[in-house]
A = this chain, B = another copy of it.
């Protein structure tokens, strides 16, 4: 946690990080700007209640076999503890298809939009498992109405300790951001530039 806090101070970037068990919530909430609940914990109810007691925004990833209905009920666990700042994140579901790591279910985004007021973002990195699918699926996510994106970036994906095959290098990330900015116009949307400026030139 100290390293994350230091990184935040030095770069001015807000921090989002995963919290794995109820006992860790207070410490992580002190240092992180957003608490992430991973897909495997979508129905970890003690954890959901605990992050619901903090004032921190919570990003709730959809489980690998989580229906949209179950996902929205999981969000209720956080909100019923008093914390209404929940962000949903579609990150792919498990299907029979083996060409991708997970099947990114983009229809979940307009379905959730119809059922809930909660913001929803897409994670095309975990949602596909392959770097060359991230840019097209990021564009599709914006077109379908996602409020944001979660994208894995690494200066040298081949040397990443985890998830290298689904990480963009800086050049590909930059190309994706350019394409997103152009797509934003006809959709009447704006791409915030925070993250990109903070990256090394």
A residues adjacent to B (C-beta < 8 A): 20-23, 40-41, 43-47, 63-65, 67-69, 93-100, 103-111, 114, 127-128, 132-133, 136-137, 139-145, 179, 182-183, 185-187
Structural contact, A23 and B22, CB atoms closer than 8 A: yes
Contact of A94 among B68, B96, B128 (CB under 8 A): B96
Structural contact, A21 and B20, CB atoms closer than 8 A: no
Interface centre among A110, A114, A127, A182 (most CB of B within 10 A): A110
Structural contact, B93 and A107, CB atoms closer than 8 A: no
- Copies of this chain, complex-wide, total 4
Structural contact, B104 and A104, CB atoms closer than 8 A: no
Which residue on chain B has the smallest CB distance to residue A109? Answer: B136
Structural contact, A97 and B105, CB atoms closer than 8 A: yes
Which residue on chain B has the smallest CB distance to residue A183? Answer: B186
Which residue on chain B has the smallest CB distance to residue A128? Answer: B107
Q: Given A143-B139, A144-B136, is A107 in contact with B100 using a C-beta cutoff of 8 Å? A: yes
Structural contact, B136 and A110, CB atoms closer than 8 A: yes
Contact of A182 among B94, B133, B144, B186 (CB under 8 A): B186
Closest 9 CB pairs of A and B: A65-B65, A143-B143, A182-B186, A140-B144, A21-B46, A140-B140, A139-B143, A40-B43, A64-B65
Interface centre among A20, A96, A104, A183 (most CB of B within 10 A): A96
Structural contact, B106 and A100, CB atoms closer than 8 A: no
Give the docked Cα–Cα distance between A99 and B153 (Å).
32
Q: Given A109-B136, A136-B110, is A68 in contact with B97 using a C-beta cutoff of 8 Å? A: yes
Give the docked Cα–Cα distance between A93 and B137 (Å).
17
